[in-house]
Every structure is written in C-alpha cells, then in structure tokens.
Structure 1
Amino acid sequence: MSNVDLVQALDSVMKERFATRFYADRPVSHDTVRDILEAARHAPSGANIQPWQVHALAGAAKAEICRDILATHAAEAAQHVSEYTYYASSLPDRYQGRKQAFGQVFYGSLGIAQDDARGRAAQTARNYDFFGAPVGLIVTIDRRLEKGSWLDLGMFLQNVMLAAKVRGLDTCPQETLAKYHRVLRRHLPIAAEDVVVCGMALGVRDAAAAATRGVMERAPVEAFARFHGFETPSGA
C-alpha cells in the first residue's frame, strides 16, 4: 500500500466511524477483542503511566450484569449517579446548540418526538444491554490521577474504536453506564480507588438498522482552528 493509499484509508476509518446503537446477532471472539486491546494499548500517555483498566464482557457474564443494571435502572434510577461530571451544569451557547441539534437528529431518526418522555426513556434503557452488542467493555481509571491522565484515557478509547473499525466492527462509547458503578462492583473486581468512566458496546453493525441513523454534522476546520505563521494556502 502506498503512502497515499494509507493516508486515505486511515482518514476514511476516522471519518466513517460513528457511535453505533444497532448490532447484528453475531459473536465476537476473545482473540479479536484481545487483538483490539493489544493495538489500543499503544496509545500515548504522559510519562507512559498508561492509566486505563478494562473489563471485557461477553456471554453469560455480560448477560448477568445487564440484567442487574436493567432491573436497578427500572426500580431506582434516581439513586444512581456517576462519580464524575460529564457535562458542565451550564453549557455555553455554542455547545448547548450542538447538544440540542444532536437530540433532534438522533431521536428524530428513531421516530421519537421531543416530548415523548416514555420513548426517550426506553431508548436510554437500551444502553444497559449495550444495545444488544455481543461484547461490552467497562473502562475505569484510578481516582487519584489528574485531568492529564483522563486525556490519555481518551486517546486509548479512540484507539479501541479505530482498532475495532478496521476489523469490521463498530462501537458505541457509553458514559451513562458509569451511573451504575455500584452495580458493576457487585460483579467485577473493580478496585475501590478506581472510577468507572464509561462502557463501550462492540460488535458487528446491523447495517439495515444503522442506515436509519441521521447525519450528525461536524464543525468545519475553520470553526475551531486558527493558523499562525503559515504561507497562504494555494487557491486562497
């Protein structure tokens, strides 16, 4: 493969990856999951401390955990919160607008009206079965670490998603699973010093169902980047 082909292939993988919430009923082997993590572990981290821990779930182990989380969610959802704050309590207008646009596109593609609280709740509950994906990942980080290590963890998670994509698999990172860290601790050997950061669904995309997904627009480069000291680009 030439350098041009390699660049195009990598760019394509990054541009075509999206959070998939529809999965085919097809297993993913232990070896494949291990290979994905083997590639992802080469993510950069400050001072090479590699601040990630992963619990990979499949089969009966995954099913048991999902049943417990779903039952807990149905009975006492309000009593469970994440150990960290994902969104700012008051988002600046730029980000709030994007968040609202996401909701409109996402729920609209599913035929769920904005005022359909029951429909939205049912869709949210699908998170707790990893959207039917055959593999679920639970990712944790040591609570004694600082924000820099969380940045490192983000690069590791991106590696996981890209490594899955090039193997014909799709993923969906799921912060909402962090709410049920107490339930997860009943089933998994999560250290007391560790924070559950997120889950991640992993499997073969149900192409027909995923095709109904609305298009999530990304901001153009000009909206977030400023160039300083470069020559004027050709054609400008």
Structure 2
Amino acid sequence: MSHAVSTVIGDPASVDAAIESRFSTRAFLPKPVSRDTIAHILRVASRAPSGTNVQPWKVYVLQGHGRDSLVEKVCAAHDAVYLNPALAVEYPEEYDYYPQKWVPPFIDRRRENGWSLYGLLGIVKGEKDKMHAQHHRNFRFFDAPVGLMFTLDRILGRGSLVDYGMFLQSIMVAARAQGLHTCPQAAWLSFSKVVLPHIGAGPEEMLVCGMSLGYADESATVNTFHTPRMPVEEFTSWVE
C-alpha cells in the first residue's frame, strides 16, 4: 500500500482551517519570506492533479530588485492607461478571464464584491482617482515581499487551466500552513506584454495570473474584508 493511500489526516480541523481562512489579502507586512519556505510551498502544491499528469504549470518567483523593477514598469503602464484610456488597446489580455457580457446572478455578486470593498475603504461611486489608486495596489503586490507569476504553454488546451486552478489553490492552502497569506491576481493579465519579457518567459508561454505572497498585515482595515459564500443548498443538486 502506498504512503498516499495509508496516510491518515490526524487533524482534519487544521485542513479545514487552512482552506476556510484563505482570503484575498490586500495588505502585507514587509517581513521577508525565505526561499526555503517558498520552495516548500511549491513542492507541496506540485502534488495537485493534472490531466494525464502533464503538470502544465511554470512559476516565476519575484523578490528584491526583480520584483521592484516589475512593479515600477507595470505601475507606469497602468497610470498611462488611466490618463489616456486609448492606450488600453496596446495591452490586450491573454485570455478572457471574465465574460464579455455580464448577467445575473454573476453581475450581482461582482457588484456586491466591488462596492463592499470600496465601501470599507471609504471610496464612493464616482471617485475614479481613489478607485484607480486601489486598483494600482495590485501592481505593487499589495506590498507583499514575494510576487509569483504563472505561465502556461500556449500549445496546451483549456483543460490545463482547470489543472492550473487546482495548483493555485494548493499553493494558497500550503501557504496558510506556513502562516502566510496570498492574493491571486488576474489584474496582471492586462500587462502581460510587460510581465512576460521581464520574467524571461518565452514566446510559447501565456500568462495565467499573478499572486502576492507574504505575511498579512493584521492591522489593515482592508484585510477585514472577507467575501460571502453561497450556502451549499444553493449550488448543489443531489441526484439519486
């Protein structure tokens, strides 16, 4: 019998807690994260399943100057687009993360999420400069000392994005086991043409998303924002 089959989860509550305490952290402390810790998290997460074990993920870890210089490049591009929206055509997204047309109930959840977050931060409708500044925080990794970028070989199919989702969740749960928090970020997709050459990705690679990793700032108001979830009864059908 293999180790995986015979392993007993001695503390199921801790597994549940790691999953349930994960949230999109938007303020981090400058406390560094060791390379060994990051490597451990990635090794654990690499056990995520993938169709026929293709393991489609490729990870770029940004720290120090590599992180800071990317931040400055993308923040400059983000500001330029804000000042001149016509420049947005120069930064096409790698793939359609969001739908072309929003419909209920998804648009309702999206609006609730956005206005709940902005409301907590004291940003009201129409305050575009403040909204831009908050969105800008994405491109500073919310001050996290570690930024992660994830790419996928363009030759792979859409199923590999399903595999990738399981890998990303595994990273976030493994990070919680180390006392760390994360924020997965699709915002970087708009600036993939800046990100990919910076990290040394080849032309065959597509940016999937970015992620902030570090120690959460427990004193930050924004980190009290935790999104609601639907009751199991609302998204589950029992077929017997």
What is the TM-score when the length of structure 1 is the normalising length?
A: 0.92
Gap regions ≥5 residues in structure 2: 1-7, 82-86
Matching residue of 2:76: 71
1:103 aligns with 2:131: no
Matched with 1:80 is 91
> 2 CA distance for matches of 1:166 and 1:106?
26
Q: Which one of 47, 65, 69 corresponds to residue 52 of structure 2?
A: 47
Q: Which amino acid aligns with 1:185?
A: L
Q: Which residue, 32, 35, 38 being the options, matches 2:40?
A: 35
Instruction: Name the aligned partner's letter for residue 115 of structure 1.
Output: G
Pairing 1:197–2:208 present: yes
* Displaced runs of 4 or more, over 6 A: none
CA-CA distance at 1:189 after TM superposition:
1.6
| One of 181, 188, 191 as aligned partner of 1:177 | 188
What is the aligned partner in structure 1 of residue 101 from structure 2?
90
1:80 is displaced (CA, Å) by 1.3
Give the 3-state SS of the residue equivalent to 2:38 in structure 1. Answer: helix
State the distance in 2 between where 1:19 and 1:189 align.
Answer: 27
- Contact 2:33-2:214 within 8 A present in 1 as well: yes
Q: Which amino acid aligns with 1:149?
A: S
Aligned AA (1:171): T
Q: Please, which runs of 5 or more residues in structure 1 have no aligned partner?
A: 230-236
Residue 88 and residue 182 in structure 1: after superposition, are their counterparts in 2 closer, same or farther (change >3 A)?
same
Q: Is the 8 A contact 1:80 1:180 kept in 2?
A: yes
Per-residue CA distance 1:157-195 (angstroms, 9 max, x = gap): 000000101100000001011211111133222111111
* Partner in structure 1 of residue 13 of structure 2: 8
Determine the structure 2 residue equivalent to 1:209.
220
| CA displacement at 1:4 relative to structure 2 | 8.0
Distance 1:17 1:194 in 2: 28
Read off the aligned partner of 1:68 and give its amino acid letter.
K
User: Which of 22, 31, 39 is the equivalent residue of 1:26?
Assistant: 31
Counterpart AA for 1:29: S
Amino acid at match of 2:171: V
Percent identity, aligned pairs only, is 38
- SS of the counterpart of 2:105? helix
